[in-house]
Amino acid sequence: MLKVALIGAGKMGISHLSILGAHPQVDVVGVCDTSKMVNDFLSKYGKFNCFTDYKKMVADVKPDAVFVAVPTKFHYTVIKDLLESSVHVFAEKPFCLTVAQGEELVKLAASKKVVNQIGYHNKFVGTFKEVKKIVNSGALGNIYHFIGEAYGPVVTNKKQDTWRSDPSEGGGCLLDYASHVIDLLNDILSPVAASKGSLLKSVYSGNVEDAVYSLLELSSGVNGVLSVNWSDDTYRKMSTSITVIGTKGKVISDANELKVYFKDSLPNGYSKGWNVKYITDLTEEVDFYLRGEEYSAQIDYFVNAALGKVPNTINTFESALNTDRAISIIKHSSK
Amino acid sequence: MERILFGDNQFFAVNHISDEKSRAQSIKFKDDQAIIKTLDDAREAGINTFMCTTHDRILNICNIIRANPEKYKDYQIFPCMPYAHKYANAVTELGIVGTLKQYVPGNFFGSLFKGGVAYLSKDYTSIMELLIDSEMKMFKGIKTPVVFLQNVITDLLLGLRADEIFVAYHQYIRKKYDAEAGFITMNMPKLLDVLERGGIQNPVICSSINKAGFRMSGGKEIYEKTLQTRKVRAIAMQVLGGGAISPKEAIEYVCKLPNIESILFGASSKGNINETANLIRKFDQSLAYNTETIKAN
């Protein structure tokens, strides 16, 4: 059994807590949140041991691992404290607000030899895993272009005023929404190295961007387009997609459906021309389902890594730092 | 419950397989009349139960049903609450407590937040009851014999071990609406354990049940064993789950399972509605015939 604690029982935190609460290899030893109403609910019904001070919680319950789901501006301080206590850390995305903070935490995690993971859950989505496999097989030939997109209805009017609308707290479409797409591109192709020009556009928000458009260059030299907009209410929920174009084929994939065209060289299980695969065919069953298999799968992976059963190689702090770097590159190129 | 229930995903661009198809559906069902037309196609195919979320647009559908009492005299709705995206978007914007403040009607929170005293169980059940009432308003005057808790909420509470909330929900739906409480879940065997422990016998549970094993958490075998050995009024949804299986094979699998009281499906065209409904009836009849033959021999 892994002794796990959670800091921050908001939207993502409470979802993680539910999956952890149902996990057969996890003992949830503590939950920390600032809301009395949430804490009272969790202790009354789920018999969770609730705290309002995370340092006191860590000292009292001595967890093996901690989930961090607080607003991004608190990530650096909270994660640093946890790493110094030598606990394994799973933190929500994005990783940190500055590259310098992220670099420090990557080094600290390495020196403490603890498992570290960031919640970029798309890497556990079957279709995107398959895109990576196809790209790595070389069957697309010489890759020369990509398009990374995400659209959804987060900010669809002018009245919002929360931490999501404050750039100094980690708000904005670039950190919150575009980070998912950048992280996928970094992982499937290669890390973003430069931007040839970026637009951060405000649609409704006063202080932050609601859309991100950027011409990116990857460290492999491939160029492509990033197009992300969280003020698009023609979408019911967030929809993320990746298109990769090579001399021998092209793949277009979102979280549900993967379409791939091969001119001639074929990986196993594919035929010449268009092929369509659905998430239903590409999803591994999980033991407990909430909102999507990928949320359970990423927690299973973290728990197994903390128990020493799998290597800690997916969504490490280091890979999330590459995404923070790309965010910083896009910000600078938009000025 | 009727053997076949008609679902609403296609009306609200919920497509678990393709974002493209989901946009096409969103265009097709832009007008409420297009929804009514499809519900009428399903009625013609003998399907008189509409199982739907408490999406804002359902209010318009309910108004049409209320305005035509003769036409819809045998019609019933199984509401599923809440329409999760409404709340999910609000939680992103306002946080959990802010969302409750926005959606719980009346001055409940005004009095609750002043004191700083501990929250009691009755406070949480009162919040739940107020939310149920506000979601149920749109169905006034329409038969709603089963009222469901949506899977996102059921499964969230299941993982948080808030078992008593399920019991409170069950009791309130009976008391206030004279209806049966239903639960939608992606974790059917686990939920059944919890409901039984809470004293809810033979509960109505709607979950993914399909030959491919898609969204059958913990594995298809546990589901099959649960259906064979336990008391549960099961509704199978996502029966065509797993694109690789033909509709015929998919429906045959579900029809052969024991304890499946109803099958829920949604479709956009008259042709698809009739095809699926006919397949279900065909397999039901041939299985009934086989059972009779075995008994007679």
Which residues in chain A have their CB less than 8 angstroms from residue B216's CB? 285
C-alpha A313/C-alpha A302 separation (Å) is 10
Q: Indicate if A51 and A167 belong to the same structural domain.
A: no
Same domain as A182, residue A65: no
Lowest pLDDT segment from A102-106, A257-261, B94-98, B153-157: B94-98
**Strand ranges (E), chain B:** 4-6, 49-53, 76-81, 146-149, 180-185, 204-208, 233-237, 260-265
Contact A11 B241 (CB under 8 A): no
**Residues 6 or more apart from B56 whose CB is under 8 A from it?**
B83, B86
Are residues A174 and A213 part of one domain?
yes
Considering the domain boundaries, does residue B108 fall inside one? Answer: no
pTM of the model: 0.94
Contacts of A184 (CB under 8 A, 6+ apart): A120, A122, A123, A128, A148, A240, A242
Q: Is residue A291 part of a domain?
A: no
Residues A127 and A231 in one domain: yes
Average pLDDT, chain A: 95
Length in residues, chain B: 297
The nearest alpha carbon in chain B to A127 belongs to B17
Same domain, A35 and A158: no
Q: Considering only the C-alpha atoms of chain B, give the largest distance between any 2 of them, rounded to a whole number of Å.
A: 73
Measured CA to CA, the distance from residue A296 to residue A19 in angstroms comes to 6
Q: Are the C-beta atoms of residues B132 and B139 closer than 8 Å to each other?
A: no
* CB A248, CB A262: distance < 8 Å: yes
Question: Which two structure tokens, joined as six digits, stand for B288?
Answer: 């009934």
Contact B243 A36 (CB under 8 A): no
Judged against a pLDDT cut of 70, whether residue B175 lies above it is answered with: yes
pLDDT in tens, A158-198: 865 666 667 777 789 999 999 999 999 999 999 999 999 99
Checking if the pLDDT of B110 tops 70, the result is: no
- In a domain? residue A312: no
- Whether residues A40 and B217 touch (CB distance < 8 A) is answered with no
Q: What distance in Å separates the CA atoms of residue B190 and residue A261, rounded to the nearest whole number?
A: 42
User: How many C-beta atoms lie closer than 10 Å to residue A262's C-beta?
Assistant: 22
CB pair distance less than 8 Å for A46 and B162 = yes
Q: How many CB pairs under 8 A join A and B?
A: 136
User: What are the DSSP calls for B167-197, one per residue?
Assistant: HHHHHHHHHHHS-EEEEEES-HHHHHHHHHH
Check CB contact of B95 with chain A, cutoff 8 Å. yes
Interchain proximity B96–A254, CB inside 8 Å:
no
CB-nearest partner of A19 from B16, B119, B159: B159
Whether residues A157 and A234 fall in one domain: yes
Quick one: A82 and A164 in the same domain?
Answer: no
3-state secondary structure at position B223: helix
- Does residue A309 lie within any of the structural domains? no
pLDDT one-digit tens code per residue, A58-98:
999 999 999 999 999 999 999 999 999 999 999 999 999 99
- Residue B105: its pLDDT value, please? 74
Q: What is the ipTM of this complex?
A: 0.94
Same domain? For A104 and A69 the reply is yes
Is there a domain that residue A301 lies in? no
Shared domain check, A143 and A95: no
| CATH number for the domain that contains residue B283 | 3.20.20.100
Question: Is B288 touching A (CB cutoff 8 A)?
Answer: no
Domain housing B207: 4-83+119-296
Range of the domain at A163: 122-286+317-333
Tell me the β-bridge partners of A153.
A231
Whether residue A128 is found in the same domain as residue A114: no
Domain finish residue from A66, A86, A120: A120
Does residue A303 lie within any of the structural domains? Answer: no
Give the H/E segment covering residue A258: strand A257-262
- Residue A226: pLDDT over 80: yes
Residue numbers of B between 140 and 159 with CB closer than 8 Å to A: 152, 155-159
Residues A97 and A234 in one domain: no
Burial class (CB in 10 A: 0-12, 13-18, 19+), B1: middle
Q: What share of chain A is helix, strand, coil (3-state, %, to 5)?
A: 40, 25, 35
Determine contact: B16 vs chain A, CB below 8 A: yes
B40 Cα to chain A: minimum distance (Å): 26
State the total domains in chain B: 1
Q: Is residue B136 part of a domain?
A: yes
- On whether both A110 and A144 belong to a single domain, the answer is no
For chain A, how many structural domains are there in total?
Answer: 2
| CATH code for position A29 | 3.40.50.720
